[in-house]
Chains A and B, each alone.
Chain A
Amino acid sequence: MDDDYYSIDSILAENQKIQCTFKVDIPDLGHLDGGHERDIKALSKIQLPLWMTYILIFSDYADFTVPAPFSSRVKNALNAECKSVRLSALVGAGASWYAFGKIVMRLLAQDAARDMGAVLTTAFRERLLEVIDQAQHFAALGHIGGAGQSNDTAAAFREGLDATERELFALAQDSARSTKQWYESTDRGRR
C-alpha cells in the first residue's frame, strides 16, 4: 500500500493477474498464456500480470475485465453487510484487497476509477472500527479467549481481514499492549 519502488508487497501485488481482451493481433507472443498458438489474435482473452497490463491498456491494445474480487457480486455484499465479507478469501491469504483494488483503479477510466475508489474507501472505513475494537480487546485479554456466541463472528471477521487490515490490527494491538504494560509497571523496586 505505498508507492515505494523497493516495496516487496507492491511488487507481489502487481504480479496478480487480470483477464485482458486483445483488440489487435499480436504476432509471436502466443506463448504468453501458455497456449500453442504462435500469434495472439484480436478478441482473444489472456490472463496477464498487472505490471504488464498498464502499457497494453494505455496504448489501447487491450481491454481488461474487472477482476472477481471487485465484481458486482462483491460490491453488493459489501453494501449489504460490509463486515461479513471475507476479503482474505477474495484475494488469498497475505494479499491486500485494497492494494489490488488501487492498482486496478489506475487502469480504469476516470468515472469508473472514482466509483471504485468510493467502494474501497467506504469498505475500509466501515471495517476499520471493528478491526481496532477487536485488536484492543485482544491486547487486554492477552490471548485468544472469551465466551459467548459473539466470539464466532469475531473470529470469522478476523480470518477475513486482508493484509492491510491485519497490519492495522497488529499496530493497534501492540500499541495497546505496551501502553497497558507501562500503566501496570512500577519503579518502586528499582532503586
Chain B
Amino acid sequence: MALPPSLRVSFSPQELELIACEELVEIIPLIAMEKTAFISGAYGPLRPPNKAKVPLWMAMNLKLKKKCHIVAPDWLSVEYLQDKLLQETNAEGFSALPLRFAEMSKVLLDVAAEDIPNSDKVRSLLKDIREVRQAKSRDGLKKIDHIELSLANLCAMEINEIRPFYTRAMDVLTHLARSPIADV
C-alpha cells in the first residue's frame, strides 16, 4: 500500500543512483557562481578555470547545460580499471572498488563521456569487470546457509541485484532449519 511490493525487497537502481549522486566529484566550471548554501552543504565559489568539488547531481546538472567539464575520478581510468580487471581474474574474492562505482560510472559516462579519456575503453573494461564479478557471485550462492555469508568488497549495485533472491533463499533455509515447534 504505502510501498509497492517491488520496493519492499530492494531499492530500484534509480534510487541507488540518487544516493550515489551525493558523492563529490571535481569539476572545471565554465560559469562563475558565488559560494552558496545548499541543503547538503555549501558549495562554490565557482571561479573558472579553477577546479571545484561539488556533488555529482550538481555536476551532472551543470554538464548537461554545458556549464562545466568533469574531472574524471582516479578510479575511472583505463590504467586503474585494467589493474582491477587483472586482480579480479587472478584472485578469488572481489577486488576493492568504490562502493558506488557502478552508479557513478554510469552517470558520468552517460552525460560526460567526452571528459573521460578513452571512454570507450573504460566502458568496455567496466563491463568486463562486471561480468567477472557476476560469475564469482554465483559461488556465493553455493555457500549460502541460514547463518551468515561474507561478501567482502561487493558494491552497492551488485548487492542490490542479488538481494531479493539471496535474502529469500536464506529465509527458506532458515525456515527449513528451524526445529519443529513442540506444542504439547
Interface residues of A (CB under 8 A from B): 1-3, 54, 58-59, 98, 101-102, 105-106, 108, 113, 117, 120-121, 124-125, 128-129, 132-133, 135, 164, 167-168, 171-172, 174-176, 178-179, 181-183, 186-188, 191
**Given A168-B169, A176-B161, does the pair A186, B184 have CB atoms closer than 8 Å?**
no
A98 touches B65 (CB 8 A): no
Chain A residue nearest in CB terms to B6: A174
B13 touches A121 (CB 8 A): no
- Prevailing SS type, chain A contact patch: helix
Interface residues of B (CB under 8 A from A): 6, 9-10, 12-14, 17, 60-61, 64-65, 106-107, 110-111, 138, 141-142, 144-145, 157, 160-165, 168-169, 171-173, 175-177, 179-181, 183-184
Chain B residue nearest in CB terms to A184: B106
> How many Å lie between the Cα of A187 and that of B107 in the bound state?
8
| Interface CB pairs A-B, < 8 A, 16 | A1-B171, A2-B175, A106-B181, A113-B179, A132-B165, A164-B172, A167-B168, A171-B168, A174-B6, A175-B161, A175-B162, A182-B13, A183-B106, A188-B64, A191-B61, A191-B65
A171 touches B165 (CB 8 A): yes
> How many Å lie between the Cα of A121 and that of B169 in the bound state?
11
**Given A108-B180, A183-B106, A188-B110, does the pair A1, B164 have CB atoms closer than 8 Å?**
no
Chain A residue nearest in CB terms to B139: A129
- Prevailing SS type, chain B contact patch: helix
Residues of B within 8 A of A191 (CB): 61, 64-65
**Given A1-B171, A128-B169, A167-B168, does the pair A121, B138 have CB atoms closer than 8 Å?**
no
B102 → chain A closest CB, angstroms: 8
Q: Determine which of A54, A132, A164, A168 lies in contact with B183 in the assembled complex, contact meaning CB atoms within 8 Å.
A: A54
